[in-house]
Structure 1
């Protein structure tokens, strides 16, 4: 008995060592299960990528691990694409976004349309995406705007002014709601004003842009384009006042106040250079 006891302890120690050296990976789950997908997202994104900078190479590794575990989670592809989008590497980003759309169009199709409209200026592609998603989710929204808003931007930028006017009118109708009393977003009013200015409808442009500034007085573009509308009507003094207001707003850090404004220029966005040039033309 005395000799067998040390042998028993040795075997027990080996058994424990062997147990400790077993792989720690969780057993594969059912990737069609939303609950299982959620546990993986929590593991690799919530407690992984989202705790570090999106500029870190580890961000992509976390996304790759999630994709390896379950290749049918659309969110994983969108999250892997996000740093690439913000860094301007669209060639690498869009195949990932396309994969996310293929897996879950209901969730990511409008987002892709937004990226095409604002980031890559693929207005035809954006319009196609918003037309398609409007059938999936009528009256849906993306980045706090209706689909009609983005359609209006696309048609404005491609010179299809009549359709852009119809789009912005629809956008305003949807925002007004069934009561007709809903607040209209200041950037809807800004772009409707800019559209009217492009069509040389100066009083209408003035009316929209003044409404924009009533909602957001420091709107740089609202002030700048309103100055152009006043000047087109021969009203030099109010034009100068609004150019000064646009310049002060830009110096103070005011912008269009849109999502992703620091990663892409929105249509019609200005800098202090444009304002300075306009003031010089007025002899200031």
Structure 2
């Protein structure tokens, strides 16, 4: 229950966020116990600020304590679905692998904010990942196509994110559509030549077609990229594995299979 009548004022809420988060929690490590205390103080002062619950949940998410984090995220969504519903869908897709739940969230938020984005990607991008990971390849293809359509924009000239191309390629590989997979993955590599996953999966495409020299070239490029510190370039790869994300282990195993 809101006890302070000022909590209905956006200006008052902003002043509390500045006090307890901007000049409080955000001045220390999110691993500090004081982080949660700052968030609790903000919630006690104004329990209707959705951001307070999301910020309290954030360290728990990064530490993998989803059981404690998600009730807080759910509270943030209940208070401000327009801002936090897509975020919850993202967490379900990438962190907890609740693909069915993520799709529901993204389809719901798409009605609130058509063509919106979360973490640099369209909602359709995440729906594509979820459908791909659950084996619904036709729906995944439709989602990835829509994702790329949205990125092209009304002029049709917008740049497509390299990871959209990468995942469209991975999906095509899963469907044994090798020409299409090669096209998507090579386009990804033109944008980001050191992309470890794109190099790895296009190598699998070449191997499947008997082009072992090209396969080895890209497996080696993938390994060099990983050793050099190149990654998917998604902000949260340090806290959760993205679909299809690889390590050097997978590349080494693929290199050992040469000629088998």
- What range is the shorter-chain TM-score in? over 0.9
TM-score after normalising by structure 1: 0.90
Aligned residue for 1:249?
Answer: 225
In structure 2, distance between residues paired with 1:48 and 1:228: 49
The alignment status of 1:70 with 2:46, answered yes or no, reads: yes
The alignment status of 1:41 with 2:31, answered yes or no, reads: no
Aligned residue for 2:238?
Answer: 262
CA RMSD of aligned residues (A): 0.9
Aligned residue for 1:231?
Answer: 207
User: Which has more radius of gyration?
Assistant: 1
Q: What are the residue-to-residue correspondences of 1:147-166 with 2, within 5 Å?
A: 147-166=123-142
Aligned residue for 2:91?
Answer: 115
The Cα of 1:283 is off from its aligned counterpart by 5.5
Q: Secondary structure at the match of 1:31?
A: helix
In structure 1, distance between residues paired with 2:188 and 2:110: 27
Q: What are the residue-to-residue correspondences of 1:1-284 with 2, within 5 Å?
A: 30-282=6-258
In structure 1, distance between residues paired with 2:196 and 2:161: 15
Q: Secondary structure at the match of 1:237?
A: helix
The Cα of 1:259 is off from its aligned counterpart by 1.6
Q: Which runs of 4+ in 1 moved over 3 A?
A: none
The Cα of 1:104 is off from its aligned counterpart by 0.2
In structure 2, distance between residues paired with 1:105 and 1:233: 47
The Cα of 1:206 is off from its aligned counterpart by 0.4
Deviation per CA, 1:228-276: give whole Å up to 9, x if none. Answer: 0000000000000000000000000000000211000000000000000
Deviation per CA, 1:158-188: give whole Å up to 9, x if none. Answer: 0000010000100000000111110000000
In structure 1, distance between residues paired with 2:239 and 2:85: 20
Count of aligned positions: 257
The answer to whether the Cα contact below 8 Å between 1:29 and 1:36 also exists between their aligned partners in 2 is no
Of structures 1 and 2, the one scoring higher in RCO (CA 8 A, sep 6+) is 2
In structure 2, distance between residues paired with 1:259 and 1:93: 19
TM-score after normalising by structure 2: 0.98
The Cα of 1:29 is off from its aligned counterpart by 5.4
The Cα of 1:221 is off from its aligned counterpart by 0.2
The answer to whether the Cα contact below 8 Å between 1:80 and 1:96 also exists between their aligned partners in 2 is yes
